[in-house]
Amino acid sequence: MKELPRFIFTAATMISVAVLILTACTKEGPQGPAGPTGNNGKDANSNCVQCHNWSDSLVTKIFQYNASQHVTGSTVFEGKQVECAPCHTSQGFIECLSTGAFKTAAPYNDAAPVNCRTCHQIHKSYSSKDWALTTTAPFRAFYDSTIIIDLATNGGSSNLCGRCHQAMPAFPKLSNPTSMDDTLEPFTNLWGPHHGTQSLILAGKGAFEIGTAPFRSTDHKDTASCTTCHQAVAQGNYVGGHTLRMNNAKVGNNITACKQCHAGATSFDVNGKQTEIKVLYNNLKVKLAVANMLDTNTMLLNVKFYKQKQLAVYWNFMMVDADRSMGVHNYLYTHDMLQSGINYMNSIGF
DSSP 154-222: HHHHHHHHHTTSSPPP-SSPPSSTT-SS-EE--SSTT-S--S--HHHHHHT-S----SSSPPP--SHHH
pLDDT by residue for the chain (350 residues), tens digit each?
A: 455 555 444 555 555 555 445 455 555 667 766 555 555 555 667 788 888 887 899 999 999 999 999 999 878 888 899 999 999 999 999 999 999 999 999 999 999 999 999 999 999 888 889 999 999 999 999 999 999 999 999 999 999 999 999 999 999 999 999 999 999 999 999 999 998 999 999 999 999 999 889 999 999 999 999 999 999 999 999 999 999 999 999 999 999 889 989 999 999 999 999 999 999 999 999 999 999 999 999 999 999 999 999 999 999 999 999 999 999 999 999 999 999 999 999 999 99
Helix pair angle (273-290, 308-323), 10° resolution: 140
pLDDT for res 1: 47
70/93 Cα distance (integer angstroms): 14
| Distance, CA of 25 to CA of 19 (rounded, Å) | 10
**324 belongs to a structural domain:** yes
Q: Containing domain of residue 293, as a range?
A: 168-224+269-347
Nearest to 321 by CA among 87, 313, 142, 176: 313
Q: Is residue 39 part of a domain?
A: no
Cis peptide preceding 172, ω within 30 of 0: yes
How many structural domains is the chain composed of? 1
Q: Nearest 5 degrees, angle CA 13-CA 14-CA 17?
A: 90
* Domain presence at residue 48: no
Residue 333 counted as domain residue: yes
Q: What share of the chain is helix, strand, coil (3-state, %, to 5)?
A: 45, 5, 50
Which residues pair with residue 37 across a beta bridge?
43
In this prediction, residue 34 carries a pLDDT of 58
Phi-psi group of 184: left, alpha or beta (phi > 0 → left; psi -120 to 50 → alpha; rest → beta): beta
User: From residue 190, how far is each of 69, 142, 267, 300, 305 by CA, in Å?
Assistant: 22, 17, 33, 6, 15
d(CA 325, CA 102): 26
pTM: 0.86
Closest CA to 239 of 262, 326, 231: 231
Residue 296 lies in a domain: yes
Residue 278 placed within a domain: yes
Would residue 158 count as lying in a domain?
A: no
For the chain, the C-alpha Rg in angstroms (whole number) is 30
- Which candidate, 172, 153, 268, 281, places its Cα nearest to that of 220? 153
User: Is residue 339 situated within a structural domain?
Assistant: yes
